[in-house]
Amino acid sequence: MADSSNPRPGGEGQSTLEAEGLQNLLDVTRRINAAVDLDAVLDTIVDCLVSLVRADRGFLMMRDDEGELRFTIARDKTGKPLEEKKFRVSQGVVSEVAETGETRLIDDAASSDAYQARMSIISLSLRTILCVPLKTAQGVIGVIYVDSNAITRRFTEQDVPLIEAFASQAAATLERVRLEQAERERDRMRQQLEVASEIQRTFLPSEFPALERVQGSVASVPALHVGGDFYDVIRLPGGRVGVMVGDVSGKGVPGALFGARLMSDVRYQALYHDDVAKTLTAVNQIVAERVTRGMFVTFLYAVFDPENGSIVYGNAGHLPPLIRRADGTLEEWRKPSGLPLGIFATETYEAGRGTLEQGDTLLILSDGLGDAVGPDGTRFSDERVHEVVAATPGGPGAIVTAICDATAAHTGNQPQADDQTLLAISPA
């Protein structure tokens, strides 16, 4: 689409310009393709553009994440960056090109039959404009725009194929660099997540520690490289054992870091208070004062004394502890239960009490097990978790293995919906 009431006459000068333009196009194509950094590519595109068509000014505008066109690079004919106050172009022409994906040439504003274009061009004291879309398979990703107010250099229809070829090459290069940068960013994030996963494994016990008169087993499978679930085992005075499982409201690195710090807080408070209720109350206050962006933690902490089989536990919004008795019957200790950690700093917690006999097993689970989703979209469900536990004879190791196998078989190749953690202990 073009307005060219006063086209520049052809002739030897024009042929020379075309020949020079083609040679310049080859040269700038090599320069653009040689660039690997996005900023360098953008700079090169505009610098070459202004030089290629001998414009007074050149602009590159790219779509942002919201799809709006934003000035990216602006140069004058000497190659110097334009001041922001000089970022004035014919918005009507730019908008039309971005919407239609068609080149717009206006040669001599005074003769343009497009009223809005004529008004904006006259106000900018311009004589000629050439605006070309940058198109990829995804659509128009931006526009390149050149203008001039010099009588000696006015764009004509003969310039259009050259600048369209340039725009096509520029768009292809931008897409290539974007994909390469995205791949490098994915590689960088993958490496960082692998490192984070290794770090997380260093502060989560890889297996249940060897303890006198206590046997246990633990498994944790994050939905991502790193997870928001955490667990720990604490040796307490008098041969007692503290066990905990928590679930931070968020996956990935933020959840893992939050869980790591909380584990440290629990260890300190557990040894300081030597009381389950006071430990949870103190930890909740710490978390509530430190938490940001609405994060909270469901958490269950239990202390087992193998001397008499007693269990003292506190529950902060977590799944209730599950007891598998030696005869296969199940119990859920639903009370007491308080709010998740971090909701209210003044929340206080109570402790519940129970016992484990020989052959009994205490299980602390995260909700990712029941929430495991199969290929048909069905949840594994807490009920099926209970069925597997009830049907599995043996100690903690056998039960943990059976649950992990059952949920894995249910999900198949489906992506894991949530972190999955389970910890089990029994009298030895």
Asked if the model's pLDDT at residue 109 lies above 70, the reply is no
List, in sequence order, every residue forming a beta bridge with 136; answer none if it has no partner: 139
Q: Would you give the DSSP letter of residue 86? A: G
β-pair partners for 242: 234, 303
Largest CA distance in the chain: 106
Nearest in space to 401 (alpha carbons), one of 386, 417, 389, 383: 389
Backbone phi, psi, residue 373, to 5°? -110, 135
pLDDT of amino acid 71: 82
Q: What is the pLDDT of residue 335?
A: 92
Query: Which parts of 263-418 are beta strand (E)?
Result: 297-305, 310-316, 322-324, 330-332, 352-355, 361-365
pLDDT at 10: 38
Q: What is the DSSP letter of 64?
A: -
> Do 304 and 241 meet the contact criterion of CB atoms below 8 Å apart?
yes
DSSP character for 65? T
Q: Which two tokens stand for residue 378?
A: 């069905």
Amino acid at 108: D
For the record, the structure tokens of 99 come out as 């919407």
Top mean pLDDT of 159-173, 174-188, 351-365 is at 351-365
Residues 164 and 97: their CA atoms lie apart, in Å, by 12
Tokens read off for 342: 């971090």
pLDDT category at 326 given cuts 50, 70, 90 is: very high
Q: What's the average model confidence in pLDDT over 43-62?
A: 79
Per-residue confidence (pLDDT) for residue 381, from 0 to 100: 92
- Taking the model in full, what pTM does it have? 0.60
Q: Shortest CA distance to 317 belongs to which of 231, 246, 261?
A: 246
**Residue 220 pLDDT > 80:** yes
Task: Spell out the residues 6+ positions from residue 403 whose beta carbon is closer than 8 angstroms to its own.
Answer: 369, 385, 388, 389, 422
Per-residue confidence (pLDDT) for residue 192, from 0 to 100: 62
Token pair in block for residue 336 = 């007491």
Amino acid at the residue 145: Y
pLDDT of 197: 63
Task: Answer whether 102's CB lies under 8 Å from 133's CB.
Answer: yes
In the chain, residues under CATH classification 3.30.450.40 are 2-182
Alpha helices in 149-274 (DSSP H): 159-203, 252-273
Question: Rounded to an integer, what distance in angstroms lies between the CA atom of residue 333 and that of residue 365?
Answer: 13
- Mean pLDDT, to the nearest integer, of 374-384? 90
Question: Is the pLDDT assigned to residue 398 strictly greater than 70?
Answer: yes
Other beta carbons within 10 angstroms of residue 126's beta carbon come to 21
Tell me, what's the pLDDT at 69?
Answer: 83
Q: Strand, coil or helix: what is 235?
A: strand
Length of the chain equals 428
Closest Cα to residue 130, out of 95, 108, 158, 106? 106
Dump pLDDT digits (tens) for 227-281: 678 889 999 999 999 999 998 886 667 777 778 888 889 999 999 999 999 999 9
> What is 204-427's CATH superfamily?
PPM-type phosphatase domain (3.60.40.10)
Give residue 194's Cα distance to chain centre. 15
| pLDDT level of residue 122 (50, 70, 90 thresholds) | low
Instruction: Compute the average pLDDT of residues 191-207.
Output: 67
Decide: 341 and 296 in contact? Cβ < 8 Å.
yes
What is the mean predicted confidence (pLDDT) over 367-386? Answer: 89
Give 133's strand partners.
143
Find out whether 368 and 248 touch, Cβ atoms under 8 Å. Answer: no
Instruction: Please give the order of strands across the beta sheet that includes 297-305.
Output: 229-235, 241-248, 297-305, 310-316, 352-355
CA distance between the termini of the chain: 85
Domain with CATH 3.60.40.10 in the chain: 204-427
Predicted pLDDT of residue 346: 93
Query: Could you tell me the CATH superfamily of domain 2-182?
Result: GAF domain (3.30.450.40)
Take residue 183 and report the two structure tokens written for it: 């791949």
Two structure tokens written together for 294: 């609405």
Q: How far apart are CA 313 and CA 300, in angstroms?
A: 7
Query: What pLDDT score does 15 carry?
Result: 42
Q: Percent of the chain, pLDDT > 90? A: 35
Spell out the residues 6+ positions from residue 168 whose beta carbon is closer than 8 angstroms to its own.
Answer: 135
Q: What are phi and psi of 162, to 5 degrees?
A: -65, -50
* pLDDT top residue among 256 and 11: 256
In angstroms, rounded to a whole number, what is the distance separating the alpha carbons of residues 238 and 248? Answer: 31
Which pLDDT belongs to residue 136? 87
* Residue 19 pLDDT: 59
Name the percent of the chain lying above pLDDT 70.
79
Higher pLDDT pick, 128 / 100: 100
Residue 243's DSSP bridge partners are 233, 302
Better-predicted residue by pLDDT, 104 or 76: 104
Q: Average model confidence (pLDDT) for the chain?
A: 81
Residue 92 neighbours by CB distance under 10 Å: 17
Q: Which of 74-78, 260-264, 280-284 has the lowest mean pLDDT?
A: 74-78
